[in-house]
């Protein structure tokens, strides 16, 4: 069971963090360079809609598998870097909730209304928070893997 939970945890982390890396560093710059605003914003809203649905599931899997493992070991006995990972993971999940539940519906509405300045502003806010979550994701992977030597 332990290995199954770890597999699910890591598979979901790879989808989430890898997807943010691809969206931020590969898709976004090329789309911004090659497409005019109307096409760029409609494309990004459609792509992010698909991605965020998968991330919603990934977040549930990460939090469930992570706490299931911590619970099995015992929260008091769990090493310090597991607690740090849980704190960072919950912060990332909260940021994702803001993106998906507050900002993304605004982007969708603005794209549907063909209000490109408003859509651009929403996408910009989403971009900043995704970049923040990508940084936190990288930090969390570092804490999860290197943390045993540093925190215990």
Residues that bind ligand HEM (CB under 6 A): 2, 6, 9-10, 13, 17, 62-63, 66-67, 69-70, 82, 85-86, 89-90, 92, 137, 140-141, 144-145
Measured from the CB atom, the residue of 85 and 111 that comes closer to ligand HEM is: 85
Cα-based angle 26, 32, 34 (whole degrees, multiple of 5): 95
Q: Residues in the chain, how many?
A: 152
DSSP classification of residue 24:
I
Shorter beta-carbon distance to ligand HEM: residue 19 or 137 = 137
CA distance 104 to 124: 11
Residue with tokens 């598979």, as numbered in its chain? 11
Please count the other Cβ atoms lying within 10 Å of the Cβ belonging to residue 22.
Answer: 12
**Considering beta carbons, is residue 37 or 152 the nearer one to ligand HEM?**
152
Distance in Å, CB of 67 to ligand HEM, minimum: 5
Minimum gap (Å) between residue 92 Cβ and ligand HEM: 5
């Amino acid at each position: 069971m332990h290995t199954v939970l770890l597999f699910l945890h890591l598979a979901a982390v790879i989808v989430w963090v890898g997807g943010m890396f691809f969206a931020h560093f590969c898709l976004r710059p090329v789309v911004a360079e090659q497409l005019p605003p109307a096409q760029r914003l409609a494309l990004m809203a459609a792509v992010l809609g698909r991605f965020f649905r998968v991330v919603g599931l990934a977040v549930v899997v990460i939090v469930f598998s992570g706490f299931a493992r911590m619970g099995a070991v015992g929260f008091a006995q769990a090493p310090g870097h597991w607690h740090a990972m849980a704190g960072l993971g919950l912060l990332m999940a909260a940021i994702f909730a803001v993106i998906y539940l507050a900002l993304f519906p605004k982007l969708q509405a603005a794209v549907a209304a063909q209000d490109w300045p408003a859509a651009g502003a929403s996408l910009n806010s989403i971009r900043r928070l995704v970049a923040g979550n990508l940084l936190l994701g990288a930090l969390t992977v570092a804490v999860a893997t290197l943390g045993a030597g540093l925190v215990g």
